[in-house]
Amino acid sequence: MQTSVNQIDFLRTRLSAVTATRTITPVTTSDTEFVRRHVPSGEPIIYVTADKGIPDLFSYYQMSYALAPRNAVWWAVPAPAGKVADWWQDATGGTTAIRRLASDDHARYVVFAGTEIPADLHPSAVWTMQARFAVVEL
């Protein structure tokens, strides 16, 4: 099948009209809104979860997607990454490891999701609707 130049121009015009009227709205949830309220725009975030399983992975995806491009979100788990395909950063070692990751990623904010906050870190905001969900400013 041969396509004429007029058909290509028509398709380009149509595609431009469709994309110009479409806006992308990020998916937001109450936990992403909590983070938006407590972490300034432009500040990278270390997002610490309890595990590296599918629920934690999806939680990270959701947070990362909802805050993009407003904030870069880096995932950290208290478990060593064993393969090249592992997406998380190793937060084994508690506060020392978290501070190292934050320094490496130029992050002043750490969000703890479903995991204990080390005793020597003091949350600047705690979401009481969901246990153990907090923002810590380093």
> With bands split at pLDDT 50, 70 and 90, how would you rate the model's confidence at 18?
very low
The reply to whether 8 falls in a domain is no
Q: What is the mean pLDDT of the chain?
A: 80
Q: Give tens-digit pLDDT for 47-100.
A: 999 998 898 999 899 999 999 999 999 999 998 877 766 778 999 999 999 999
pLDDT at site 81: 79
User: Do the strands 45-49 and 125-126 form a parallel or antiparallel pair, or are they unpaired?
Assistant: unpaired
pLDDT at site 13: 54
How many domains, in total, are found in the chain? Answer: 1
84 or 33: which carries more pLDDT confidence?
33
The reply to whether 24 falls in a domain is no
**What whole-number distance in Å separates Cα of residue 108 and Cα of residue 102?**
7
pLDDT at site 27: 56
CB atoms within 10 A of CB 134: 23
Using the Cα atoms of residue 41, residue 103, residue 101 and residue 124 in order, give the sign of their dihedral: negative
The reply to whether 71 falls in a domain is yes
What 3-state class would DSSP assign to 98?
helix
State yes or no: pLDDT of 4 exceeds 70.
no
pLDDT at site 19: 47
- Residue-number span of the structural domain to which 127 is assigned: 30-137
The reply to whether 49 falls in a domain is yes
The reply to whether 3 falls in a domain is no
The reply to whether 14 falls in a domain is no
The reply to whether 15 falls in a domain is no
The reply to whether 11 falls in a domain is no
Half-sphere exposure of 17 (CA within 13 A, CB side): 6
